[in-house]
Structure formats: structure tokens, C-alpha cells
Amino acid sequence: MQHIANLKALSAEDITGILDLGSAIKANPKAYENALHRKSLAMLFQKTSTRTRLSFEVAMTQLGGHGVFIDWQTSNFVLSSIRNESGYVSRNADCIMARLMHHSDLLEIIEGSRVPVINGCCEKFHPCQALTDVLTMREHAGGDVQGKTLCYVGVQNNVSNSLTLICSKLGINLVLATPEVNDNGESRDADVDEIIRTSATVSHTTDPHEGVAAADFVYTDTWIDMQYFNNPKYKDQKEATLARMMPYQLNEAMIGDRDVRIMHDMPIHEGYEISSGLVHDPRSVIFDQAENRLHAQKGLLIWLLGESS
């Protein structure tokens, strides 16, 4: 049984197969409307979400199945062990998708579950986002992204970790243009660090202008994890981060008239990691990217749960 904890266990062929399936479903959704007939996805959330919740639930509906939202705080996951509760969930649902604070909780769910478990974003990885991102890049690069260059500008975090994993597997050049000090220590992963240190296609620079100069795609993400952004307890930390990160803002001055596609995984903090103008710039593919959560995840769900899997 395959779990999607991160993308480490998937081969380039696996990833390409999921994305090809996502593209085929997007092109001809009717042909797949019963692909997951009567299958159920338990969708477990410790944290807020717009895209992950909506896209997984709609994906299950459009594939003939059903998504069940479970709010961690109002469930008995707060009272009992994760292993026991997820063991029960997997007796009813065909798959579990979980958005969690800590990757260690995902590993406990996997331990308890007898059905596939998908990471819907934790502090270390966001695999579904990375699949979506490459699907979007393929669409805007005429189908083939091998040898294309993606520059990720901002802080190293769960999103950049998953981009590092997927780009290194698929031969996409990735430039991480981020400060030297990893702002978000909780996202550190030894395998990702090793790829950045040794891979021929993944590199790091502290100079965002240098990174953007060679890019076909530029990408940014929030500088502050969503649960801290509006929390007054983290006001000082937030202000210090914003001051340090402003030179990394994706804006008109940084991008100039370059022929690049602009990406962001959303939610967007306009005026912080990206200027308002670039969000709606003709070169922005941000809303195509967000829509593709639906299509990429349909590919993933059928790859995990469909008849032939």
C-alpha cells in the first residue's frame, strides 16, 4: 500500500503517471465521473484551509465518490491516541487525507491506518501542492518541463521542500533564492538539505535577482506560516521576519519585463511576499495553479484508489 507522506518514495515514472492522469481527467472529466464510485475520503484538518479542503472534496464528488470533512478539534482525535482513532477511520474510509501541524502526527496516522494516507500539508512537506505546481508548469511549458528553470524566492519551508524533492526527481532546474539562515527551522529535513548540497539541478543563492535572471518560472510563498500570521502573540517575530524578507518580495522591479510565469500556492499576502500588481499580471499563472489542485489530486486519488491500482 502506498502512502503520500512526502514525495520521497515516488519515482519519476510514478509522478509522471499521476500528472498524466491529472491532465487526462482535466481534458475529459466525464470519462472519469465514476472512477471512484462509492469510495470515501476522510479529510482530517488540524489547520485552516481553502484550497485543500475544497479541491479534495470536489475531486471525490466529481469522481463518483465522497469526501468527509473531519475537524480535528471537534473530533475524538483530541481525546484518544492518533493511532487508534485513525485505525477506526480506516475501517470506514478508503483513504485518509490529513492537514496537520506536525509530520510526526502524519506518521502516526500511517501507522494506524489500513488505507492509503495523503499528506494535505504539514510543517515539513506539501506534496499535493508540488504535484499541482509541476502540472501547471507543464501546461505553460508546452508539456515538457525537463531542463526548465524554476526560481523559488522566499523562505525555505514545506512548499520549497516538496519542490526540491519533485524537481530533483524530474530534472527541473530549481534555484532556491532564500536567506542563508533557514527562517522556519521546523521545516528542516535532512534529505532535502542533502539534495540542495549535492544535486546538479538544485541550487541555492541568497540573491533573488540572480535567481530570477535565469528563470522560466518564479514562485513565492508566504514568509510566515498561516497559524502565526494573524496571532498577536507572534507580532514581534512577524515584524522582524517581514523586515528581513522585504528584499525578497517578488515585485515589478525584480521581475522587470522578463518572459517568466509567476506562481504562488495561495493564500497570498499581497504587499508582503508578492506585490499586488504581480498577482494579476498577465504573466501570472497563480489562479491556473490553484485550479490545478483539483486536477492533480484527481490523478493522485485514482492512482492510489482506482481499479487498476
Q: Among residues 265, 272, 274, 281, which is the contact residue for ligand CP, using CB under 6 A?
A: 265
* Binding span for ligand CP by CB under 6 A among 17-25, 195-203, 264-272, 301-309: 264-272
Q: Report the distance separating Cα 46 and Cα 147, nearest Å.
A: 37
Q: How many CB atoms lie within 10 A of CB 257?
A: 7
Q: Is 266 in the site for ligand CP (CB under 6 A)?
A: yes
What residue type is assigned to position 273 of the chain?
A: E
In sequence order, the 6+-apart residues with CB closer than 8 A to the CB of 86 are 96, 108, 109, 112, 113, 117
* Distance between CA atoms of residues 52 and 267, nearest Å: 11
Judged by CB under 6 A, the residue of 63, 117, 121, 145 near ligand CP is 121
Max CA pair span of the chain: 55
Which parts of 57-86 interact with ligand CP (CB under 6 A)? Answer: none
Name residue 30's amino acid: K
What is the C-alpha separation between 77 and 236, in angstroms, rounded? Answer: 32
- Among residues 51 and 298, whose Cβ is nearest to ligand CP? 51
CA 126/CA 114 separation, integer angstroms: 22
Which of residues 17 and 267 has its CB atom nearest to ligand CP in the complex? 267
Region 3-22 residues binding ligand CP, contact defined as CB under 6 A: none
For residue 246, the tally of other CB atoms under 10 A from its CB is 12
Strand 95-99 relative to strand 117-119, pairing: parallel
> To the nearest whole angstrom, how small is the minimum distance from the Cβ of residue 274 to ligand CP?
14
Smallest distance from the beta carbon of 221 to ligand CP, in angstroms?
8
Contact status: 50 vs ligand CP (CB under 6 A): yes
Phi first, then psi: give them for residue 204, nearest 5 degrees: -130, 140
| Residue 267 makes contact with ligand CP by CB under 6 A | yes
Cα of 282 vs its chain's centroid, Å: 23
The yes or no reply on residue 297 touching ligand CP (CB under 6 A) is no
Stretch that binds ligand CP, among 7-15, 26-34, 43-51, 255-263 (CB under 6 A): 43-51
Dist. CA 253–CA 240, nearest whole Å: 23
Tell me the three cell numbers of residue 111.
501507522
Span near ligand CP by CB under 6 A; candidates 10-18, 44-52, 133-141, 180-188: 44-52
The interface region with ligand CP, picked from 4-12, 78-86, 170-178, 260-268 by CB under 6 A, is 260-268
| Piece in contact with ligand CP (CB under 6 A), picked from 208-216, 254-262, 263-271, 276-284 | 263-271
Judged by CB, which is closer to ligand CP: 94, or 265? Answer: 265
Residues near ligand CP (CB under 6 A) are 49-52, 121, 129, 265-267
